[in-house]
Amino acid sequence: MQGSGRECAMFERSQLNKGTLEGCILKIISRQPSYGYAIAAALRQAGFADVNEGTLYPLLLRLERKGLLRAEYRASPSGPSRKYYSLTGEGTQYLTEFEQAWRLTASAVEAILQEK
């Protein structure tokens, strides 16, 4: 791969993030039903600085189409109605499986990174 090391690192991180965003989105929504802008803000606050609405909304739509989320419009105190997302039963199960897989993967990666 050509380019600076910084470009390579950015590419790799984006590929890593792609595989984890769905689980993180489901976890945020599992705490309480939420709407896109608030989900994006929670992701950015947690450290996913490059996540914007253009990244988030296609993921939300995909999760909804997979049956992991349900959506409903609710009145907003400051403007038009907002589309709130909540987990379905399948979404809850998927989140449980994601959390288990993440912990195993993170543990394995940490074990390798800590080796001297």
Rounded CA gap, 71 and 10, in Å?
Answer: 33
pLDDT value for 6: 47
pTM to 2 decimals? 0.83
**Residue for token pair 């993440």:** 102
pLDDT value for 5: 45
Rounded CA gap, 91 and 17, in Å?
Answer: 19
Q: Within the chain, which residues score under 70 in pLDDT?
A: 1-16, 116
pLDDT value for 9: 53
